[in-house]
């Protein structure tokens, strides 16, 4: 290397002063256009409602940087695309930093302070790094082009499931055109950059301080070699260079000016969206302030600025759509389309100087940019979309907020309306008398304590399905026996327990949820206990994540964690091992919602079963279709149910004996699906508790229980 | 323009209920209260008239009953009723449908509505006569079991379709003001969201005493009713048994049962 000042980047050599001035003028114009665009975007976000996500800003920032640096969220479930994006990202960042340092020296440090650093070793090293960055950028872009053109990925098809052929917003071809314009202009900037570099080398090949160090920009050097071989002389290179220079320069400036107006803005919006990611998004839904007149989102300005920002962060990657169970069975819902519709709506309605009239801000309806009621009701609030979105878009809170508005207007399935009224009247979705809630306990050979009357260690919150559904009652009884056998001091709330409200809230009936939650919290607070256990992941989620917002802070665990501990400490003794070949279905509310992936698997292994995973497992588990209140809405006939789709997946496991679930609703959904999807006789659906039950030898009273 | 909608809070039986010691009614502990199903439809019909025309319409709901009835009235307010009136005095306890009609008529005289809607019947007592007795006390025309209504605020008359037996409909033109008793299914009642009900708590419910409407204890109550409940009971269940076995065995069993029955 050589640290001589001669070795440096040739910038405006041989340019007329007017040309340089012109270039600067265009540069300032581009920046002005950029800044105006940013201003319009920020004005748009500011038209949303406030959001309290400003806490722990530094922490959030660090998290965001980590996520971006590792590309963690992008390589998930699509390694090639994630890596290609990584190359583009890295290339862009390095080239941007490189160009900025040139500006820093040329336009600021040198004229003002006479400081120069862009020469010698520093320059050479940078040339090398930038050359490699450029190469990575182009390679990444080529892969993206290949992927779009030849891989025919369904997730990159922008045709909408909720619109018909012929509707103006059906195929969204303008998005496809934008994608290609973006890829082509970006790749052209990269390619012309290299050719420019090569041309410069050929042109100045008689200057040793340029030519001798050409290997520090290897791509340029290689191209230069080729050009020379093809017969390009120094003069012709010198004559050609200005054209190329202007082309490259203008394209780059246009690119910068376009950032806030096109998909390129995701550079900023995605980063900010990641920074404001809510770890509890969907798990803990937003409260409706008491003084707010209407619940939920009716107009685009009801969205918070954060929601509006999420809309802009979406890169249309389609991962959410690919993971969506409603979409998989052909329901008119794609989480991406909900986001994109609202984005188009926001861009249309909120970008002008004046806000349009209230009536023109309604996001519900059948028009362009509006979201259909059927779309919103198709959602299972399974959180698969939120989980996989690489840029932290939070679909479910938006969907539920919009449903709240539908509920207020009474726009829902009659059966759902009936169920909500039933829950209001009886406190459970089965319409049973409160007195019958613990009827299942009467058949047990021992008494269960009433936690309202005496202190217990563990309070068992049973939940509606486990209490009233006859099939689940058997499981509930087994769990009671298990706890009794293990010597756990536990009790129930009996008729004072109400539906926990998890699904009522996800339906969007916030008032009813508040009623249920506050009643349960009041009941729980009057009892003396150390922690809560439940077999119902839905109750588990809302008590764990949402009751605290209403003043109910309780220790709670899902039974899988408790049972695992009881087995490990020897309180539950397994008298025999099972040798079943099983698979496990992660319930959304235990797995994705609360990261309870491991405990059930460990219990399965402790029982001696051989666990074979389905292709979609853990955070990619496929919803049974019952979430978000869909258990109270009949599925349309003629289209596949998500549960049947799941059965098919399990059916592919060779020699599968048991399909294990750990959620009462799953048991109901999958036992039904097993019958209808033709796998009956091949394998069975069992609640994990039933398998544990097989391994425990109860004392004598068990016999009396069975014959009673 | 004003529509008075008479509503009732009805009782539904809980699981395993018991009869009160005096054998006149079910023990209150086993009753669940809610708005009468028919009243959802009559209120909706009033709301539709309110929302469709250009004339200003005031929808007033009225109910006769104790404090607990406020909950049901609040539901009506949440659905959009403008005002709610609750009439109560302890002496009203035990009134039959005719006595209640007397009270409602007294309220109507004070409110001077242009129309009165009531449900065809209540789901707990099923007399189907409260609306009609109200009309009788007011000396207004009435139409019962209305399954369709063509009426706009301010009209001098209404055209109603009454549901008769065997799927027959009868179209009747009726002069207003009139009392209509509304049948299930005439419309699709709206959903009252719980937030709506909560917010309706801010709207006052007017509590009216007998003297406010010009009546006294001598007009109401069991003593001033035309019918009285003598006894409420669960009829003994009939018995049935499937006799199995060979013909001879069946015959033998049959003879045995007959003998038992005769007390031989
Ligand atoms: S929550 Fe589940 S069903 Fe709803 S949009 Fe997301 S992925 Fe689809
Ligand atoms: S919302 Fe997220 S996952 Fe869905 S398309 Fe947009 S960026 Fe991709």
Optimal mutation site among A291, A408, A510, interface B, most CBs of chain B within 10 A: A408
Which pLDDT tens digit goes with each residue over A304-322?
999 999 999 999 999 999 9
DSSP H/E element including A684: strand A684-687
DSSP H/E element including A531: strand A531-534
CB contact under 8 A, A410 and B198: no
Which pLDDT tens digit goes with each residue over B110-130?
999 999 999 999 999 999 999
For B166-173, the CB contacts below 8 A with 24+ separation are B172/B143
Nearest CA to ligand 2 atom 3: A389
Q: In the predicted model, what is the mean pLDDT of chain B?
A: 92
pLDDT > 90: percent of chain A: 73
In this structure, the number of other CB atoms found within 10 A of the CB of residue B263 comes to 5
Q: Distance from the CA of A311 to the center of ligand 2, in angstroms?
A: 9
**Please, what are the domains in chain A?**
17-46+57-156+169-272 (1.20.950.20), 289-294+308-408 (1.10.1060.10), 416-695 (no CATH)
Whether a cis peptide bond, with omega within 30° of 0, leads into A299 is: no
Owner of token pair 């706890």: A483
Q: What angle do CA A198, A202, A203 make, to 5 degrees?
A: 115
Tokens of A375: 């779309």
Taking contacts as CB-CB distances below 8 angstroms, the residues of chain B near A425 are 32, 34
Query: DSSP 3-state assignment of A13?
Result: coil
pLDDT at site A108: 84
Q: A553 vs B14, which has greater pLDDT? A: A553
Torsion of CA B204, B209, B215, B218, to 10 degrees: 150
Separation of alpha carbons B226 and B223, rounded Å: 8
pLDDT at site A708: 35
Separation of alpha carbons A440 and A465, rounded Å: 12
CB B111 within 8 A of CB B127: no
Tokens of A288: 């409706």
pLDDT at site A353: 86
Work out the minimum CA distance from A608 to partner chain B, whole angstroms: 44
Q: What is the DSSP letter of A169?
A: T
Beta strand ranges found along A98-241 (DSSP E): none
Q: Distance from the CA of A54 to the center of ligand 2, in angstroms?
A: 23
Q: What is the DSSP letter of A15?
A: -
Instruction: Kindly tell me if the per-residue pLDDT of A447 is higher than 50.
Output: yes
Separation of alpha carbons A558 and A590, rounded Å: 8
What DSSP assignment string belongs to A573-626? Answer: ---S----EEEEPPPTTTTTTT---HHHHHHHHHTTPEE---SS-GGGPPP-S-
Q: Distance from the CA of A594 to the center of ligand 1, in angstroms?
A: 16
Task: Indicate the pLDDT class of residue B44, thresholds 50, 70 and 90.
Answer: very high
Instruction: Kindly tell me if the per-residue pLDDT of A707 is higher than 60.
Output: no
| Phi then psi dihedrals of residue A460, to 5 deg | -95, 110
pLDDT at site A2: 58
| Phi then psi dihedrals of residue A356, to 5 deg | -65, 175
Interface contacts (A, B; CB < 8 Å)? 45
Pocket test residue of A76, A335, A392, A395 for ligand 2, highest count of atoms within 8 A of CB? A335
B18 in A contact zone (CB under 8 Å): no
Residues in contact with ligand 1 (CB, 6 Å cut-off): A 323-326, 333, 335, 379-385, 395-396
Taking contacts as CB-CB distances below 8 angstroms, the residues of chain B near A410 are 190-191, 193
CB A236 within 8 A of CB A194: no
Q: Report the complex ipTM.
A: 0.81
Residues in contact with ligand 2 (CB, 6 Å cut-off): A 314-320, 335-336, 339, 388-391, 393
Nearest CA to ligand 2 atom 8: A317
Q: Distance from the CA of A554 to the center of ligand 2, in angstroms?
A: 34
Please list, in sequence order, all residues whose beta carbon lies within 8 angstroms of the beta carbon of residue A683, skipping any fewer than 6 positions away.
Answer: A650, A651, A656, A657, A658, A659, A674
Instruction: Kindly tell me if the per-residue pLDDT of A653 is higher than 80.
Output: yes
Q: What angle do CA B237, B242, B247 make, to 5 degrees?
A: 145
**Please, what are the domains in chain B?**
2-224 (3.40.50.620)
| Residue A447, burial from CB neighbour count under 10 angstroms (0-12, 13-18, 19+) | exposed
Taking contacts as CB-CB distances below 8 angstroms, the residues of chain A near B198 are 511, 514
Q: Which of A516, A443, A433 is nearest to A473 (CA)?
A: A443
Tokens of A705: 């229980």
Interface of B with A in 144-173 (CB under 8 A): none
Ligand nearest to the CA of A175: 2
Q: Which of A540, A295, A390 is nearest to A74 (CA)?
A: A390
Separation of alpha carbons B204 and B226, rounded Å: 34
B197 in A contact zone (CB under 8 Å): yes
CB contact under 8 A, B197 and A412: no
Q: Distance from the CA of A173 to the center of ligand 2, in angstroms?
A: 18
Count Cα atoms within 13 angstroms, Cβ side, for A310: 27
Pocket test residue of A393, A395, A620 for ligand 2, highest count of atoms within 8 A of CB? A393
CA distances from B174 to B120, B133, B150 (A): 17, 17, 11
Which pLDDT tens digit goes with each residue over A44-64?
999 999 998 888 899 999 999
pLDDT at site B264: 62
Q: Read off the pLDDT of each residue in A27-42 and give the average, rounded to a whole number.
A: 95
Work out the minimum CA distance from B195 to partner chain A, whole angstroms: 4
**What is chain A's alpha carbon radius of gyration, rounded to the nearest angstrom?**
31
**What is chain B's alpha carbon radius of gyration, rounded to the nearest angstrom?**
23
B203 in A contact zone (CB under 8 Å): no
Residue of A nearest to B198 (CA): A511
Separation of alpha carbons B116 and B135, rounded Å: 9
Work out the minimum CA distance from A362 to partner chain B, whole angstroms: 20
In sequence order, the β-bridge partners of residue B174 are B158
pLDDT at site A699: 63
pLDDT at site A678: 87
CA distances from A331 to A378, A416, A496, A587, B228 (A): 6, 18, 38, 21, 58
Please list, in sequence order, all residues whose beta carbon lies within 8 angstroms of the beta carbon of residue B190, skipping any fewer than 6 positions away.
Answer: A410, B44, B47, B79, B80
Q: Read off the pLDDT of each residue in A391-404 and give the average, rounded to a whole number.
A: 97
Instruction: Kindly tell me if the per-residue pLDDT of A594 is higher than 90.
Output: yes
Separation of alpha carbons A391 and A272, rounded Å: 9
Taking contacts as CB-CB distances below 8 angstroms, the residues of chain A near B191 are 407, 410, 412, 417, 420-421
What DSSP assignment string belongs to A346-404? Answer: HHHHHSSSSPPPGGGGB-BSSSTTPBPHHHHHT-----HHHHH-TT---HHHHHHHHHH
Task: Indicate the pLDDT class of residue A706, thresholds 50, 70 and 90.
Answer: very low
Instruction: Kindly tell me if the per-residue pLDDT of B33 is higher than 50.
Output: yes
CB contact under 8 A, B195 and A511: yes
Interface of A with B in 480-509 (CB under 8 A): 509
Q: How far apart are the first and last CA of chain A?
A: 92
What's the longest Cα–Cα distance across chain A? Answer: 104
Instruction: Kindly tell me if the per-residue pLDDT of A705 is higher than 50.
Output: no
What DSSP assignment string belongs to chain B? Answer: -EEEEE--EEEEEPTT--B-TTSSSB-GGGEEEEE-HHHHHHHHHHHHHHHHSSS--EEEEEEE--TTHHHHHHHHHHTT-SEEEEE--GGGTT--HHHHHHHHHHHHHHH--SEEEEES--TTT----HHHHHHHHHT--EEEEEEEEE--TT-SEEEEEEE-GGG-EEEEEEESS-EEEEPTTSS-PPP--HHHHHHHTTS-EEEE-TGGGT--GGGSSGGG-S-------PPPPP------S-HHHHHHHHHHHHHHHHT-
Task: Indicate the pLDDT class of residue A703, thresholds 50, 70 and 90.
Answer: very low
Instruction: Kindly tell me if the per-residue pLDDT of A701 is higher than 70.
Output: no
pLDDT at site A523: 97
Separation of alpha carbons A316 and A672, rounded Å: 35
A433 in B contact zone (CB under 8 Å): yes
Separation of alpha carbons A85 and A78, rounded Å: 11
Taking contacts as CB-CB distances below 8 angstroms, the residues of chain A near B190 are 410
B198 in A contact zone (CB under 8 Å): yes
Q: In the predicted model, what is the mean pLDDT of chain A?
A: 91
Optimal mutation site among B194, B196, B197, B203, interface A, most CBs of chain A within 10 A: B194
pLDDT at site A192: 93
Instruction: Kindly tell me if the per-residue pLDDT of A567 is higher than 90.
Output: yes
| Residue A428, burial from CB neighbour count under 10 angstroms (0-12, 13-18, 19+) | buried
Task: Indicate the pLDDT class of residue A1, thresholds 50, 70 and 90.
Answer: low
CA distances from A478 to A351, A693, B33, B77 (A): 60, 7, 36, 47
3-state SS of A209-239 is HHHCCHHHCHHHHHHHHHHHHCCCCHHHHHH
Q: What is the DSSP letter of A470?
A: H
Instruction: Kindly tell me if the per-residue pLDDT of A106 is higher than 90.
Output: no
Residue of B nearest to A418 (CA): B191
Q: Which of B163, B131, B132 is nearest to B39 (CA)?
A: B131
Which pLDDT tens digit goes with each residue over B141-156?
999 999 999 999 989 9
Separation of alpha carbons B87 and A639, rounded Å: 53
pLDDT > 90: percent of chain B: 70
pLDDT > 70: percent of chain A: 97
Separation of alpha carbons A534 and A540, rounded Å: 6
Separation of alpha carbons B194 and A611, rounded Å: 45
CB B4 within 8 A of CB B109: no
Which pLDDT tens digit goes with each residue over A128-177?
999 999 999 999 999 999 999 999 898 888 888 888 888 888 888 889 99
Task: Indicate the pLDDT class of residue A704, thresholds 50, 70 and 90.
Answer: very low
Taking contacts as CB-CB distances below 8 angstroms, the residues of chain B near A412 are 191
CB contact under 8 A, B194 and A509: yes
Q: What angle do CA A251, A253, A257 make, to 5 degrees?
A: 115
Taking contacts as CB-CB distances below 8 angstroms, the residues of chain A near B196 are 408, 511
CB contact under 8 A, B194 and A510: yes
Q: Distance from the CA of A314 to the center of ligand 2, in angstroms?
A: 5
Instruction: Kindly tell me if the per-residue pLDDT of A405 is higher than 60.
Output: yes
In sequence order, the β-bridge partners of residue A30 are none
pLDDT at site A4: 67
Taking contacts as CB-CB distances below 8 angstroms, the residues of chain B near A408 are 193, 195-196
Work out the minimum CA distance from B64 to partner chain A, whole angstroms: 21
pLDDT at site A172: 87
CB B184 within 8 A of CB B38: yes
Separation of alpha carbons B237 and A159, rounded Å: 64
């Amino acid at each position: 290397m050589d640290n001589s000042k001669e070795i440096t980047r040739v910038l405006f050599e041989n340019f007329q002063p007017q040309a340089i001035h012109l270039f600067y003028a265009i540069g300032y114009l581009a920046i002005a256009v950029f800044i105006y665009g940013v201003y319009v975007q920020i004005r748009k976000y500011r038209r949303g409602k406030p959001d309290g996500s400003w806490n722990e800003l530094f922490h959030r920032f660090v998290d965001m940087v980590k996520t971006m640096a590792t590309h963690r969220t992008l390589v998930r479930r699509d390694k090639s695309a994630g890596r290609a994006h990584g190359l583009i990202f890295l290339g862009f960042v390095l080239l941007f930093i490189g160009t900025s340092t040139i500006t820093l020296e040329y336009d600021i440090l040198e004229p003002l302070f006479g400081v120069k650093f862009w020469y010698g070793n520093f320059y050479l090293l940078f040339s090398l790094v930038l050359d490699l960055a450029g190469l990575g950028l182009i390679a990444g872009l080529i892969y993206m082009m290949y992927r779009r053109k030849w891989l025919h990925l369904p997730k990159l098809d922008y045709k909408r499931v909720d619109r018909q052929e012929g509707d103006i917003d059906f195929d969204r071809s303008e998005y496809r055109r934008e994608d290609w314009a973006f890829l082509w202009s970006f790749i052209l900037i990269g390619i012309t950059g290299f050719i420019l570099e090569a041309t410069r080398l050929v042109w100045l090949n008689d200057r040793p301080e340029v030519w001798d160090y050409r290997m520090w920009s290897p791509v340029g050097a290689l191209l230069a070699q080729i050009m020379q071989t093809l017969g390009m002389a120094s003069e012709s290179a010198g004559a050609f260079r200005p054209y190329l220079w202007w082309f490259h320069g203008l394209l780059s400036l246009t690119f910068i000016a376009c950032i806030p107006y096109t998909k390129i803005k995701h550079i900023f919006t995605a980063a900010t969206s990641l920074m404001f990611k809510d770890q509890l998004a969907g798990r803990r839904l937003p409260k409706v302030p008491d003084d707010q007149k209407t619940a939920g989102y009716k107009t685009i300005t009801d969205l918070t600025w954060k929601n509006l920002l999420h809309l802009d962060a979406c890169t249309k990657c389609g991962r959410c759509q690919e993971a969506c169970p409603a979409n998989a069975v052909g329901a008119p819902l794609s989480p991406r389309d909900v986001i994109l519709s609202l984005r188009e709506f926001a861009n249309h309605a909120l970008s002008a100087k004046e806000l349009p009239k209230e009536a023109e801000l309604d996001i519900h309806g059948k028009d362009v940019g509006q979201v259909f009621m059927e779309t919103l009701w198709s959602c299972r609030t399974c959180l698969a979309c939120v989980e996989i979105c690489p840029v932290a878009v939070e679909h479910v809170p938006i969907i539920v907020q919009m449903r709240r508005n539908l509920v207020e207007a009474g726009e829902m399935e009659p059966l759902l309306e009936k169920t909500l009224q039933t829950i209001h009247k009886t406190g459970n979705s089965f319409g049973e008398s409160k007195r019958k809630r613990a009827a299942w306990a009467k058949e047990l050979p021992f008494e269960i304590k009433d936690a309202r009357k005496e202190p217990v260690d563990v309070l068992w919150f049973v939940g509606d399905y486990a209490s009233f559904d006859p099939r689940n009652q058997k499981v509930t009884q087994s769990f009671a026996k298990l706890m009794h056998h293990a010597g756990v001091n536990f009790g129930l709330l009996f008729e004072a327990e109400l539906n926990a409200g998890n699904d009522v809230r996800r339906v969007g009936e916030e008032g009813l949820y508040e009623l249920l939650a506050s009643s349960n919290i009041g009941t729980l607070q009057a009892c003396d206990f150390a922690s809560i256990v439940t077999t119902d992941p839905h109750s588990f989620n809302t008590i764990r994540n949402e009751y605290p917002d209403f003043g109910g802070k309780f220790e709670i665990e899902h039974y899988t964690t408790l049972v695992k501990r009881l087995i490990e400490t020897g309180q539950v003794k397994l008298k025999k091992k099972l040798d079943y070949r099983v698979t496990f279905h992660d319930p959304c509310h235990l797995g994705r919602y609360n990261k309870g992936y491991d405990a059930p698997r460990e219990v399965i292994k402790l029982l001696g079963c051989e666990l074979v995973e389905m292709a979609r497992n853990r955070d990619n588990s496929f919803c049974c279709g019952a979430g978000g209140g869909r258990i109270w809405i009949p599925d349309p006939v003629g289209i596949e149910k998500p549960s049947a789709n799941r059965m098919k997946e399990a059916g592919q496991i060779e020699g599968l004996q048991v399909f294990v679930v750990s959620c009462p609703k799953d048991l109901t959904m999958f036992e039904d699906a097993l019958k209808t999807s033709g796998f009956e006789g091949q394998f069975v659906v069992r609640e994990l508790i039933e398998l544990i039950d097989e391994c425990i030898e109860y004392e004598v009273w068990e016999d009396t229980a069975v014959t009673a | 323009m004003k529509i008075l909608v008479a509503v009732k809070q009805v009782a539904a039986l809980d699981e395993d209920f018991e009869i009160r010691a005096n054998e006149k009614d079910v023990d209150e502990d086993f009753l669940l209260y809610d708005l009468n199903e028919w009243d959802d439809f009559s209120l909706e019909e009033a709301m539709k008239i309110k929302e469709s025309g250009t004339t200003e319409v005031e929808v007033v709901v009225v109910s006769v009953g104790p404090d607990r009835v406020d909950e049901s009235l609040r539901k009506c307010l949440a659905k959009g009723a403008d005002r709610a009136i609750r009439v109560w005095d302890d002496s009203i306890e035990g009134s039959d449908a005719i006595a209640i009609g007397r009270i409602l008529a007294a309220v109507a005289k004070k409110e001077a509505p242009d129309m009165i809607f009531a449900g065809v019947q209540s789901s707990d007592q099923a007399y189907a006569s409260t609306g009609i007795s109200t009309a009788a006390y007011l000396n207004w025309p009435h139409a019962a079991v209305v399954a369709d209504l063509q009426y706009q605020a301010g009209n001098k008359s209404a055209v109603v379709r009454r549901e008769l037996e065997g799927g027959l409909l009868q179209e009747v033109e009726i002069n207003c003001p009139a009392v209509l008793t509304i049948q299930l299914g005439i419309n699709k009642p709206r959903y009252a969201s719980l937030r709506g009900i909560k917010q309706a708590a801010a709207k006052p419910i007017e509590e009216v005493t007998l003297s406010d409407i010009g009546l006294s204890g001598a007009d109401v109550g069991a003593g001033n009713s035309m019918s009285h409940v003598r006894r409420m009971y669960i009829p003994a269940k009939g018995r049935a048994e499937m006799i199995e076995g060979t013909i001879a065995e069946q015959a033998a069993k049959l003879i045995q049962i007959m003998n038992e029955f005769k007390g031989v």
